[in-house]
């Protein structure tokens, strides 16, 4: 039982119904993702089968349903176009490289799980996630505008945006009507006919009605359709490695692995909130990685935890890995027996379904809060959004994390600087005992008490030196570290500068209250040796009493 996380048979009826419902929702979405990626609808279904099955049984989120997702499809589309474009005379070679990248990305995900990187995904701030997901939603919408109007899919979102006037001027009326019908169904049925939506998921309803409209209303039109879909078990494909493209393939695999990790673990958090459970992030990465590796070897799209399918599964009663695995088995049975029935599905209908997927990915909640959200966070979100749509997904995530890290460092630095208090007279800034206050008062400004508190890092080291240098009129200094739990190497060097500056000006410095980690760091860097003998005290009061003796001498 421990081998499969969360497996039990106490909820078998709910898991069966959840798996059936998730499969019904996954079928049109997987086909649409396959078409959008350029690899074909069967690749989307294979991805749902393999990623869904192995991620369910070997992952760390019992109720999660995995398969091709919008973000992963966007990246896979770029990868597929990139590698097939390198071999215009032999597109199968390019496709083989692309699916090798999928398997490689899965191996990288397994490595992330084994290295216990799962917990670090929780450190990604919301503005970065919001800009990233909103950008991906925008990409999906832009790329599906061409098929909606009866045109081929553009390879890049900027190119699709520039082509909008052409789409409108040269539209195919049957395709546009079918696409609009699909949009009306996927948006309207859940809102106006919620009972029907619970019985038949709106994407599946749009797929069926849109295909029937094409067959009976527009049978002689030039509307692009999916075409023949292979049936039967998928073939195993040996990985293909091109030494000259090795670095590009590694970069593409890392992109898939990183995005898949984020996408899956965000969905795991959604599943936790609904089921009131706790997922195992590292195990989830390993399960997703195994699923993606096998999907790549059998010509399937890469996948991740799918929010919509997971929520549908949970709402239908699914709680254990049985539901996610069953959803994949049902899709496999459909491929084995009914693949040919899907050949007449219009691409415009799939475009309408995917546009709904794109709008669902957009973080509308954050967009509504833009006027009230912190300006720095809004700037990060908009920057990530722009780079995601118009430059590169991985670069967008990296830039967002760097911006967020600098913002966090700035806030932490301000807090650390606020806890650096140089005083020459008793006051409210630093709590003093009555005896300490009397000594400071009697010294009449000849004692500088430099009180530090809280952990101090490299980002505030220079500010610490500047604050010390700002006070010049004193004879003795007490460097009080009694409330400092830790310092790093840069701070240790800054303290050395303060000690040298104080002693170089003919003044004497006393070090007090250093805890064991701080004392050990200063000792390792041979900073304590620069102090005069008898200048290190365990507490501040002893140092002040010593200074009072020196002042009286």
CATH at residue 433? 3.30.750.24
Cβ atoms of residues 92 and 314 within 8 Å = no
- pLDDT score, position 396: 85
Domain final residue pick, 342, 362, 382: 362
Instruction: Give the pTM.
Output: 0.76
Compute the distance between CA of residue 127 and CA of residue 134 in angstroms, rounded to an integer.
10
Domain final residue pick, 362, 379, 405: 362
Minimal CA–CA distance to 331: which of 55, 46, 29? 46
Sequence-distant (6+) residues with CB within 8 A of 371 are: none
pLDDT tens, position by position, 142-185? 988 999 998 887 778 888 888 899 988 888 899 999 999 999 99
Same domain, 139 and 287: yes
Question: For residue 516, what are its two tokens?
Answer: 């064991």
Question: For residue 335, what are its two tokens?
Answer: 């491929």
Same domain, 520 and 455: yes
Same domain, 428 and 499: yes
Same domain, 276 and 173: yes
Residue matched to tokens 């959840």: 18
Same domain, 439 and 348: no
Same domain, 323 and 446: no
Residue at 399 is within a domain: no
Angle (CA) 438-422-549 rounded to 5° is 40
Task: Tell whether the torsion through CA atoms of 61, 63, 68 and 74 is positive or negative.
Answer: negative
Same domain, 356 and 426: no
Considering only the C-alpha atoms of the chain, give the largest distance between any 2 of them, rounded to a whole number of Å.
110
Same domain, 179 and 291: yes
Residue at 388 is within a domain: no
Same domain, 311 and 457: no
Q: Of how many residues is the chain composed?
A: 553
Number of domain units in the chain = 2
Residue at 411 is within a domain: no
Minimal CA–CA distance to 305: which of 464, 163, 438, 109? 109
Beta strands per DSSP E along 373-491: 420-423, 447-453, 476-483
Residue at 391 is within a domain: no
Cβ atoms of residues 148 and 348 within 8 Å = yes
- Encode the chain (553 residues) as per-residue pLDDT tens digits: 467 888 888 888 889 988 888 887 788 888 888 888 888 888 999 999 999 999 999 999 999 999 999 889 988 998 999 999 888 888 889 999 999 999 999 999 999 999 998 888 777 888 988 888 888 888 888 988 999 998 887 778 888 888 899 988 888 899 999 999 999 999 999 888 888 877 777 888 888 899 899 999 888 888 888 777 777 778 898 898 888 899 999 999 999 998 899 889 888 887 887 788 888 999 999 999 999 999 999 999 999 998 878 888 887 788 999 999 999 998 998 888 766 666 788 889 988 988 988 888 888 989 999 888 889 999 999 999 999 888 877 788 889 989 998 988 888 888 888 888 888 888 766 778 888 888 888 888 899 999 998 888 888 889 999 989 888 888 999 999 998 999 999 999 999 999 999 998 889 999 998 999 999 999 998 888 888 888 899 988 899 998 998 888 6
Residue at 454 is within a domain: yes
Q: What is the DSSP letter of 111?
A: H
Same domain, 84 and 189: yes
Same domain, 304 and 424: no
Residue matched to tokens 């798996």: 19
List, in sequence order, the alpha helices (H) in 115-222: 126-148, 157-162, 164-169, 173-192, 194-199, 202-217
Residue at 286 is within a domain: yes
Distances (CA, A) of 29 to 151, 228, 405: 20, 18, 36
Same domain, 182 and 63: yes
Structural domain of residue 485, as residue ranges?
A: 419-552
Residue at 406 is within a domain: no
Compute the distance between CA of residue 229 and CA of residue 148 in angstroms, rounded to an integer.
21
Question: For residue 163, what are its two tokens?
Answer: 């082509």
Compute the distance between CA of residue 106 and CA of residue 488 in angstroms, rounded to an integer.
37
Sequence-distant (6+) residues with CB within 8 A of 4 are: 57, 58, 321
Residue at 482 is within a domain: yes
Question: For residue 56, what are its two tokens?
Answer: 């369910």
Cβ atoms of residues 51 and 66 within 8 Å = yes
């Amino acid at each position: 039982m421990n081998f499969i996380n969360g497996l039990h048979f106490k909820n078998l009826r709910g898991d069966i119904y959840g798996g059936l419902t998730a499969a019904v929702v996954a079928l049109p979405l997987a086909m649409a993702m396959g078409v959008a990626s350029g690899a074909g609808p069967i690749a989307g279904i294979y991805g749902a089968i393999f990623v869904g099955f192995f991620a369910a049984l070997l992952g760390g989120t019992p109720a999660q349903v995995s398969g091709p997702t919008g973000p992963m499809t966007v990246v896979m589309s770029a990868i597929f176009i990139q590698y097939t474009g390198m071999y215009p005379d032999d597109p199968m070679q390019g496709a083989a490289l692309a699916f090798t990248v999928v398997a490689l990305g899965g191996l990288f995900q397994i490595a992330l799980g084994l290295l216990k990187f799962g917990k670090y995904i929780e450190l990604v701030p919301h503005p970065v996630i919001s800009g990233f997901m909103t950008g991906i939603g925008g990409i999906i919408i832009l790329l599906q505008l061409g098929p909606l109007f009866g045109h081929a899919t553009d390879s890049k979102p900027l190119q699709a945006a520039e082509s909008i006037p052409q789409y409108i001027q040269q539209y195919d009326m049957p395709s546009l009507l079918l696409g609009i019908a699909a949009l009306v169904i996927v948006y309207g049925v859940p809102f106006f006919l919620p009972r029907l939506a619970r019985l038949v998921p709106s994407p599946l309803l749009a797929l069926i009605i849109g295909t029937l409209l094409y067959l009976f209303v527009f049978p002689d039109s030039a509307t692009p359709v999916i075409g023949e879909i292979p049936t039967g078990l998928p073939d195993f494909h040996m990985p293909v490695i091109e030494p000259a493209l090795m670095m590009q393939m590694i970069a593409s695999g890392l992109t898939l692995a990183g995005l898949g990790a984020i996408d899956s673990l965000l969905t795991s958090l959604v599943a936790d909130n609904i089921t009131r459970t706790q997922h195992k992030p590292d195990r989830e990465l390993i399960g997703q990685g195994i699923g993606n590796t096998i999907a790549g070897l059998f010509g399937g799209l890469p996948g991740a935890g799918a929010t919509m399918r997971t929520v549908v599964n949970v709402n239908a009663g699914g709680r254990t890995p049985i539901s996610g695995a069953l959803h994949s088995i049902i899709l496999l049975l459909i491929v084995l027996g009914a693949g040919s029935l899907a050949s007449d599905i219009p691409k415009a209908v799939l475009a309408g379904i995917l546009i709904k997927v794109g709008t669902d990915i957009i973080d509308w909640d954050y967009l509504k809060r833009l006027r009230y959200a912190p300006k720095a966070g809004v700037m990060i979100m908009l920057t990530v959004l722009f780079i995601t749509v118009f430059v590169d997904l991985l670069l967008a995530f990296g830039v967002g994390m760097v911006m967020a890290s600098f913002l966090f460092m700035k806030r932490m630095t301000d807090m650390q600087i606020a806890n650096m208090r140089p005083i020459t007279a008793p006051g409210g800034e630093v709590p003093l005992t009555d005896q300490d206050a009397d000594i400071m008062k009697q010294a009449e400004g000849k004692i500088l008490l430099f009180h530090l508190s809280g952990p101090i890092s490299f980002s505030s080291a220079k500010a610490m030196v500047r604050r010390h240098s700002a006070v010049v009129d004193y004879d003795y200094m007490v460097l009080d570290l009694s409330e400092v739990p830790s310092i790093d190497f840069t701070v240790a060097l800054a303290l050395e500068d303060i000690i040298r500056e104080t002693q170089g000006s003919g003044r004497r410095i006393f070090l007090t209250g250093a805890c064991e980690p701080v004392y050990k760091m200063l000792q390792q860097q041979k900073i304590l040796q620069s102090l005069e003998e008898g200048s290190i005290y365990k507490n501040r009061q002893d140092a002040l009493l010593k200074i009072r003796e020196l002042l009286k001498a």
